Amino acid sequence: MAENFVKELRENRPRRISGLTMTATTTPALTDNQTLNEVVNCLTENIPIKSQGKCEQQTIFEILIRAATQRDSIENTTKVLKNVPTSNDIRYHLEKYSDLISLESALNKALQSRLPIGIRQGQQKIAIDFNLIPYYGEPSQLEAPYIYRSQAKNGTCSFYAYATIYVIKKNKRVTLYQSCSTTKHFGGSYHISFSVD
């Protein structure tokens, strides 16, 4: 990605886009810039972050999305990009979300806000994934309830655990719901309940 990633996006970003363009063959084509715009718009509509100055909400999301898609840290992402807030500024705003249950709810609302009509109608095939991300070190009081103990893997028995629910339609997977529930919800069998409004 270009060094002036955020600046370029701001200059070229049309407001309120559908994320699709039509080619000469009238086949929908999704571009990287349109995908980023749609994700940023969706997040800013559903997950409020009170910010000020250079650290605007859309900039925070653009940095987080770049870090996630590049599998990079916030620290390195803010060093690579020019004229963006520091990693400390980004973390300051992220730390405002100490209520992870509310954040999870807002993220699920964001996921469901862009569901195609075809998925909203009738019964659908679904898939449920349970994911474990290795956790190393001593968890803070905030993190401790979200650490799941399991069989050793990658040098640890501690993991962040989350489950996702997908709809499978026309061999495509659309995420409906994700849960980073506390360890008391994992283990043994449990009932998953959700609805799409």
* Greater pLDDT, 14 or 67: 67
Q: How far apart are CA 116 and CA 82, in angstroms?
A: 36
Mean pLDDT of the chain, nearest integer: 77
Per-residue confidence (pLDDT) for residue 181, from 0 to 100: 60
| φ/ψ (deg, to 5) at 144 | -50, -45
Q: For residue 87, give the nearest of 45, 49, 59 by alpha carbon.
A: 59
Contacts from 73-80 at CB under 8 Å and sequence distance 24+?
80/3
Q: How many CB atoms lie within 10 A of CB 171?
A: 5
Question: Is-contact 58 65, C-beta < 8 A?
Answer: no
- Where exactly are the structural domains of the chain? 5-94, 113-185
138-177 pLDDT, tens digit each: 988 878 888 888 889 999 999 888 888 888 888 888 888 8
Residue whose entry in the numeric block shows the structure tokens 């020019």: 82
Question: Measured between alpha carbons, how far is 133 from 158 in angstroms, rounded to an integer?
Answer: 8
pLDDT score recorded for residue 98? 74
As a whole number of angstroms, the distance between CA 49 and CA 16 comes to: 19
From 11-15, 57-61, 105-109, 158-162, the region with the lowest mean pLDDT: 11-15
Provide the H-helix boundaries in the chain.
5-12, 32-46, 57-69, 74-80, 87-94, 100-113, 117-120
Instruction: State the residue for tokens 């995420």.
Output: 175
> Exposed, middle or buried by CB within 10 Å (0-12, 13-18, 19+), for 66?
buried
